[in-house]
Structure 1
């Protein structure tokens, strides 16, 4: 029988951590029952492991008691890191990070859920690898772990036995993905039906809310960001924008990228698309009306940028999120 360790990261837990742990335990238990019902032998043992014998109430609502302590686990086949609040490592969390590193060197695969990617990245294992995390943590993650290739649009990454996923309750999609990896496709389909989790979701782009990196201290870039955000309907060139702030185009680009993580063009596109998304979600405006309001006159260009940002066409997005549009009003 193989061994799966679900970590309980003391000191970094919130209610999402609890949800990840409980959801994973329940789905893997149901997968195991289904597997045995098909005439197979029991395949995996799942345990919840922590670094020390602590029970802390989370949100004054619930506490979790681990099955074992990581010091008792000599060898495991898969480590699952749940969502966890990013922060400076404590003595306990550092012990967990060191244990993850040792287990990975011994051949264990690893999966992180949501902001659990911060714990995984702290091991150094993710350097040079692809990774995902909750879109709202993308800027903080890039700043903290610049050697990791973050793909915050992806729901799941799978690279050489290391799995990561996007944010919040999309951990359920990762669990189904792991069930297919560790059992088979039919078991994954069964679990997806029982728990009503969509199979094969691969993007979190449609859920992202763009707010822009503002905590960078570059006054010129801040003014440029403000100008872009206050003139969404304007179609302007980056040359005209840089000259507005008396900065050469090359230097303007360099400072903007360093401060925000986006090129000026990308930033303007994200701001415009965020405004378009809100209009499509909450108004009866047509796609063309919204397009003109955010400074586009070319339907094809607007659709291409919108799909690049959200993973959906403008009409698909409107039908998905606008209740009145779905009802045919």
Structure 2
């Protein structure tokens, strides 16, 4: 790859990849930079540059087994505008090499903003670099974060968080939106939108757009309840009955109900409906979804069934809720 002259670059990003990092989070971030860096999709690093950094030239293996070879040694972090830490599997966080940790501390001391992608926020916090900052983690890892880091409440209901010189996102597709935020900031909105459109992403999401996941009021440290909630979340279009969930988890229905009552003060059926209605509200925020489509995606028989249940729960129809939400956003 031919590198453009230094004076034409508006954005320089260095990547630190943890062992067993999430490839999709890394690739989404890089592709937004790549597509914004040049005309069309020619991929020349004219307006921005990205480099994978490591203490040695040894390839770093992702969680799916694909390895990435570093471009250059860690060196002086001040040659970059941002250092992005891409995490992955929870078990690998403690194994980050000391050279990486020292490099991240040098970056912080030099005033280089640090970005945590996926479990990259865990790595930054474990390194002592998130004290006093808000940080975003995936809803899927919310409880894991609380177990490892006392005294810090992660943000798990937004796709990314920008808090001064710390930027964090939940991983996956959200890394593309955080990268687009940086492109918008340093190169321009048109370049950011172009990148997302080429990646077949309709528009950039704002930091406070919600993550698609479990409602935070259903957070629990009961492993049985967490497994039951995750099972429903993964089968939203054909929601299993409580008895099916109990059988899958190899417990009695009564035991499952006792665990839900003790940890969430509600029945499994009520918790499952809360998850489905939370997903309905998220989909209602998207103008391209009809009520019939939303009903199908969230396991309701048809639009009439969804309208009836939604009105009973919220006091308004889905269309009324959608209209109110738009008015609030425009205010």
TM norm structure 1: 0.64
Question: How far apart are residue 285 of structure 1 and its match?
Answer: 4.1
Residue matched to 2:20: 12
What whole-Å deviation, never above 9, does each CA across 1:128-186 have from its counterpart, x for those lacking one?
32221211001111232233342211012111022111232221111111111221112
177, 197, 209: which one pairs with 1:193? 197
| Secondary structure, counterpart of 2:173 in structure 1 | helix
Residue matched to 1:272: 273
315, 318, 331: which one pairs with 1:300? 315
What whole-Å deviation, never above 9, does each CA across 1:3-43 have from its counterpart, x for those lacking one?
3211122x232xxx2233333333323322149x9xxx955
Q: 1:298 to 1:8 in 2, by over 3 A?
A: closer
Residue matched to 2:255: none
Superposed, 1:1-329 pairs within 5 Å as 1=6, 3-9=12-18, 11-13=19-21, 17-34=22-39, 42-55=46-59, 57-58=61-62, 61-70=65-74, 72-75=75-78, 76-87=80-91, 89-90=93-94, 92-202=96-206, 205=210, 207-209=212-214, 215-216=221-222, 264=265, 271-276=272-277, 281=297, 282-286=299-303, 297=312, 299-300=314-315
Stretches of structure 1 lacking an aligned partner (at least 5 in a row)? 220-228, 232-244, 246-255, 317-329
Question: How far apart are residue 210 of structure 1 and its match?
Answer: 5.8
Q: Would you say the 8 A contact 1:113–1:164 is kept in 2?
A: yes
Q: Would you say the 8 A contact 2:33–2:49 is kept in 1?
A: no
Q: Would you say the 8 A contact 1:173–1:197 is kept in 2?
A: no
Query: Across the two proteins, how many residue pairs are aligned to each other?
Result: 264
- Give, in whole Å, the separation in 2 of the partners of 1:94 and 1:270: 43
- Give, in whole Å, the separation in 2 of the partners of 1:284 and 1:60: 37
Q: 1:213 to 1:12 in 2, by over 3 A?
A: same
Q: Would you say the 8 A contact 1:127–1:147 is kept in 2?
A: no
- Give, in whole Å, the separation in 2 of the partners of 1:269 and 1:129: 35
- Give, in whole Å, the separation in 1 of the partners of 2:63 and 2:211: 29
Q: 1:91 to 1:64 in 2, by over 3 A?
A: same
Question: How far apart are residue 112 of structure 1 and its match?
Answer: 1.8
- Give, in whole Å, the separation in 2 of the partners of 1:298 and 1:58: 43
Q: Would you say the 8 A contact 1:291–1:299 is kept in 2?
A: no
Q: Would you say the 8 A contact 1:97–1:122 is kept in 2?
A: no
Stretches of structure 2 lacking an aligned partner (at least 5 in a row)? 1-5, 226-240, 244-257, 281-294, 327-331
Residue matched to 2:253: none
TM norm structure 2: 0.63
Q: 1:302 to 1:135 in 2, by over 3 A?
A: farther
